[in-house]
Structure 1
Amino acid sequence: MSAHHHHHDHHHFAHVQGDRRLLLAIAVNLALTVAQAVAGIISGSLAMIADAVHNFSDAGALILAWAARRIARRPAHPGMSFGYGRAEIVAAFANYVALVLIALWLVWEGILRILAPQPVEGWIVVIVAGIALAVDATTAALTWRMARESVNVRAAFLHNLADALGSVGVMVAGGLILLFGWWVVDPIVTFGIAGYILWHAAVELGPVMRMLMLGAPPGLDPGEVREAMRSVEGVEDVHHLHLWQIDEHRTSLEAHVVQAPDAPPGLRRRIVEMLGQRFDIGHATLQMESREEACGEGAERGDAPGARGGAARS
């Protein structure tokens, strides 16, 4: 078997194993959601019901992550020349928006509970929250490795992580209600869960939005890239420079390059190789121009559309 086929088979096996782990995590979370909802209604615990709703969102997030992974693996075609990799970015965005909406709903429900207190059965809360914590830990173990490599799975993982901490909070609330009758702890814990969710969503949503808005990759300075291109022998100027991420692992560049009259052969190839080696830019589209063909000075900012004809692709 060739090295290429071995590499392909390894990736296929990893994808299949990842899909199976996600499906198992989905099944476990759906079962737990039903148990938590029933226990929350019986015990009268808002924090338990809130945890059940959030756990249901965990299952939904995992389903969305699983579907996006499968869509992202579809091959590119003329109508989708970059492929379907950004499906995972869209799924991550949807999951983070869902987290924000859930957190705001929890805050609203907590306020209502403070205004209209209800009795809470502490033992049911503690027992079911303990079971939920075990399930959350299992789900985290199933998705942790994939979450390090995929913003899509990481969004689903953070759903689960927030739910695990929510279960700990619910257990603390149930214990304090049992020991001291402090019913007010229930909505306070709910506020804590909501705050934690909002904080995580705020941290993670920015990079996802940046990819969707075709922003330059974080940590990659367009000015530095421009100067590196200008330093290549035979390059007189670089303008209409655009950097964006196709997905979280692939960066693209588009630019107009003005070449000197005495530029050595293979200039475009040398620029492309430099971009790949120094900045890990895997796809570069360069329009090579002479001095007479060069665009106006306004293109220097990179905010003008520029000409598209005659581009040379790597």
Structure 2
Amino acid sequence: MHFDRAFGIGIGLNLVFVVAETAGGLWSHSSALLSDAGHNLSDVLSLALAWGATQLASRPSSERYTYGFKSATIQAALINAALLYAALGFILWDTVDHLRNPAPVNGYLVMVLAGIGIGVNGLTAFLFRKGQHGDVNLRGAYLHMLTDALVSLGVVVGGGLVVWTGWHWLDPLISFVILGIIAYSSWGLLRETVQLTMLAVPESINLQKVRALLLAQPGVTQVHDLHVWPMSTRDTALTVHLVRPGCGCDSDFLQQLQKTLKEKFNICHCTVQIEERVPVLEESCGCD
């Protein structure tokens, strides 16, 4: 399935569910249900931003933006992570208030709506299961939806416990557990997006293995000024200077090297400079 369609279906389903869950949470006085609805709303915004960034990244480059708009996916991922933690703060405030002033909870309604949430979030996660590998934007959407499905399962269990025990204070307590799960599961995504904005080497790439591969190429005696950075949440670039004494500029060598880097490390944009020896300037300044 094309991911544009997946985004559209996911946003539509979750938006309808957020409205239903919010109304049900207010009517049943369930902070767990409201906390789940608040998080689902942040996921709707997350899906919309990720979708918009994907569309923007597909636009061609221009004289002003020579790399195109691929980095929009990184910015969207960072904004989504920030929105998620802002939503957690709001939900935490509401949950504390419900814990101080517990109200009767309609456990049956909570269980029904949260059960629907398992289906909605599970289906949305299923739509992104194939695209999550190698793209932090799609992986964020997938993990959010999968986490929400599990959280909705927790709400169902909580609603059943309230019905069985009559302990209404269990509802905000379960909300605290939900918040902890969401915060924990999202921390890795936040850390990775911050690293991408700082042009760090993507976590999927081992720089030492890249260096070793370059040194193993025919005629290469030294590698310096090796840089690897993300152009987007899917595309990675590399620049490097290779010292190949007496080999000159070999087009076949460069084409094969680029193909190898693409196959082994998914590095799609390579700029390689061939040198007879290390420039004196590099030796004197201690550049890598």
Shorter-normalised TM range? 0.7 to 0.9
1:122-133 to 2 correspondence within 5 Å? 122-133=107-118
Note closer, same or farther for the CA distance 1:298–1:53 as it changes in structure 2 (3 Å cut): farther
Secondary structure, aligned partner of 2:161 = helix
Residues 111-120 or 187-196, more deviating: 111-120
Asked which structure has the greater RCO (Cα within 8 Å, sep 6+), the reply is 2
Q: TM-score, normalised by structure 1?
A: 0.80
Residue type of the partner of 2:5?
A: R
Find out whether 1:167 has 2:139 as its counterpart. no
Tell me by how many angstroms 1:235 deviates: 4.2
1:10-21 to 2 correspondence within 5 Å? 17-21=2-6
Tell me by how many angstroms 1:168 deviates: 1.5
Find out whether 1:266 has 2:266 as its counterpart. no
Secondary structure, aligned partner of 1:24 = helix
Secondary structure, aligned partner of 1:81 = coil
User: Moved runs in structure 1, 4+ residues, more than 6 A?
Assistant: none
Question: Aligned residue pairs: how many?
Answer: 285
Q: Which residue of the other structure, out of 54, 59, 71, is the alignment partner of 2:44?
A: 59
> Can you list the C-alpha shifts for 1:85-137, whole angstroms capped at 9, x where unaligned?
22222222222222222233333333332222222222221222222222222
| 1: CA distance, partners of 2:278 / 2:153 | 69
Note closer, same or farther for the CA distance 1:37–1:219 as it changes in structure 2 (3 Å cut): closer
Tell me by how many angstroms 1:149 deviates: 5.2
Q: Which residue of the other structure, out of 62, 66, 69, is the alignment partner of 2:54?
A: 69
Secondary structure, aligned partner of 2:62 = coil
In structure 2, list runs of 5 or more residues that go unmatched: none
| 2: CA distance, partners of 1:38 / 1:230 | 62
Residues 140-149 or 155-164, more deviating: 140-149
In structure 1, list runs of 5 or more residues that go unmatched: 1-13, 303-314
Residues 276-285 or 199-208, more deviating: 276-285
CA RMSD of aligned residues (A): 2.6
Residues 104-113 or 178-187, more deviating: 104-113
Note closer, same or farther for the CA distance 1:32–1:298 as it changes in structure 2 (3 Å cut): farther
> Can you list the C-alpha shifts for 1:164-193, whole angstroms capped at 9, x where unaligned?
222222222221111111112111211111
2:232 alignment partner in structure 1 = 247
| 2: CA distance, partners of 1:119 / 1:286 | 68
Find out whether 1:190 has 2:175 as its counterpart. yes
Residue type of the partner of 1:270?
A: F
| Contact map agreement 1:268 1:286 (CA 8 A) in 2 | no
Tell me by how many angstroms 1:43 deviates: 0.9
1:238 alignment partner in structure 2 = 223
Tell me by how many angstroms 1:223 deviates: 4.1
Secondary structure, aligned partner of 2:22 = helix
Higher alpha-carbon Rg: 1
